Homo-oligomer: A and B are copies of this chain.
Amino acid sequence: MSAPTVYDVAERSGVSIATVSRVYRNPDSVRAETRDRVLDAARSLGYVPSGNARGLASRTTGVLGLCFPDYADPDAETGAEAEAEAEADDSAVMLYSDQIIRGMERAARRHGYALLIAASLVGGPESLVAKVAGRVDGFAVLAKTVPTEDLEVISRRLPIVMLAGPREIDHLDHIEVANSDGERELARHLIRDHGLRRLAFVGGERESPDAQARFRGYQEACREAGLPVADEPDLRAEMMTQAEGERTADALLDRAAGRERPEAILFANDQMAIGALHALERRGVRVPDDIAVTGFDGIPLSRIVRPSLTTVRQPMRRLGEEAVGLLIHRLADPTRAPVSLMLPVSVTRRSSCGCG
């Protein structure tokens, strides 16, 4: 059963292949009667136009791409019970990219594009990135997922927009989120509105530009308020997961045993903050009465947990939408100057800091 082609459809409907092609590309340019004949023939043959052939001939794909980090080991066992656990924590972890995917998918669809997604995977010339690059009209890359070197090469052939994280390649379009501003606002709120003075910050790995920017915002707020300015987070987590949040919260309290413990812990993201909430509840430390806790991201869970989490809301979905916008623009005008957007964030005051 080798797939029918334009030739088969043309023959069966008594027209030329050019006409068959027109029917799919621009139906109105074909007489209605002819068109119906072609469509009938196509249906009865089970004809599906080859995207590859179309793409090759027209030099476009109608597809946009997204490369995001590989959060979880794809080879991990997915045992029956193991899954329940895994899904629970990890669903929070991945919400971030889920939202971006969703935003991109929608915006892409609005422009008539489909979305090709692939988590990054190191590899030779045949890496997934290369595959994606060859199959799309342009794509977005989350920070730290593709070697800069590869992006350099690929970006010479098609539009790439870099998402979240510092601008690594300055001739590329780029979108980031006001991490530093957001954390500064948040810390200011804690200091000014709640009068807290002993703050602690739990960061992420040193390579996480987001976590670093948030820490800088925290530093600025401390400096402004005349509080001691740490030059390193009080603690760093490798994974920024709930589990790590629990661990770091425990560590922080243990460390403070006997001395005055912090009045607030600012976590570099929501997942950790939520993990910390569990740890604190377990230890009988009341939030926000005994200690305030804040996160960053504004994932849906943050408003559901008890106490609800004060956080900084990132417009993740909008990130995806803007990414598509930039790609579409650049596709239309490849010569325009590189654009760099900084998306605003907003502090969401809830119970865990003593508001709401």
List chain B residues, Cβ under 8 A from A130. Answer: 48-49
Q: Does A306 contact B (CB under 8 A)?
A: yes
Known A55-B52, A94-B102, A153-B48; judge A128-B114 contact (CB<8 A): yes
List the one stretch of A105-113, A166-174, A217-225, A285-293 in contact with chain B: A105-113
- How many angstroms from the CA of A44 to the CA of B125 in the assembled complex? 14
The answer to whether A158 touches B116 (Cβ under 8 A) is: no
A300 CB within 8 Å of chain B: yes
Taking a contact as CB atoms closer than 8 A, the residue among B53, B84, B109 that contacts A74 in the complex is B109
Check A119–B125 contact: CB distance below 8 A. Answer: no
Known: A101-B101, A130-B49. A39 touches B116 (CB 8 A): no
**A317 CB–B CB distance under 8 Å:** yes
User: How distant is A269 from chain B, measured CB to nearest CB, in Å?
Assistant: 16
Can you tell how many copies of this chain the complex includes? 2
Q: Quick one: which of B46, B56, B116, B125 contacts A23, CB cutoff 8 A?
A: B125
- Across the interface, name the chain B residue whose C-beta is closest to A106: B74
**With A and B bound together, what is the CA distance between A117 and B320 in angstroms?**
14
Q: Tell me whether A50 and B56 are in contact (CB under 8 A).
A: yes
Chain B interface: which of A131-139, A182-190, A201-209, A251-259?
Answer: A131-139
A residues engaging B (CB < 8 A)?
1, 3-4, 23-25, 27, 39, 42-43, 46-56, 61-63, 70, 72, 74-75, 78, 83-84, 87-88, 91-92, 94-95, 98-99, 101-102, 105-107, 109-110, 114-119, 121, 124-126, 128, 130-135, 153-154, 156-158, 300-301, 303-306, 313, 315, 317-318, 321, 334
Top 9 nearest A-B pairs (CB, nearest first) are: A46-B156, A51-B134, A52-B55, A51-B135, A52-B56, A114-B118, A91-B300, A304-B304, A74-B110
